[in-house]
Structure 1
């Protein structure tokens, strides 16, 4: 269950990172509320996963999922560039996540 919680935490991390763009510096009420809720849920699910997962593994995977999700959403929502070098680096992060999952107890 801890891996599921960690995955959900990572998704909420990507959501609040994207939400920050829509808050316009927390000057827009509804995007700000939604972003703060996503922050809370991200930290909540991360804390649940860390009851049994090692902190270094959990944190690395949480941020990795957030990085990958935020990058993909940035490309889709904000027309950010996705060239070969950027895609390759994202693949490296994904490979690290898979590696940590495989070697974790």
Structure 2
């Protein structure tokens, strides 16, 4: 039995609507949630920012994100986590609208270098 492939007339008609593969735009990788490692500088007399401002500064520097926010629950746990982790933390960032939210901070550097 020989097989033939029949192409529907609608398929032929709508083929012109789709761009060839070479002309399609490339997909950009931009996940809604990311984990990143941060090495924050400890407070000093010359750098006496609060812990959450210090965290925001490092996120802005490393990820080039303008608007960062954090919930009160995270801000309350931030001082103890930063000091226990010797200022090396992993922060989980999520996007909501045009604002990036740091919604989880964990001790240590728990993200492989290839995923940053």
TM-score norm. by structure 1 comes to: 0.25
Q: Larger Cα Rg: Structure 1 or Structure 2? A: 2
Name the structure with the higher strand share: 2
Name the structure with the higher helix share: 1
Bigger relative contact order, structure 1 or 2 (CA pairs below 8 A, ≥6 apart): 1
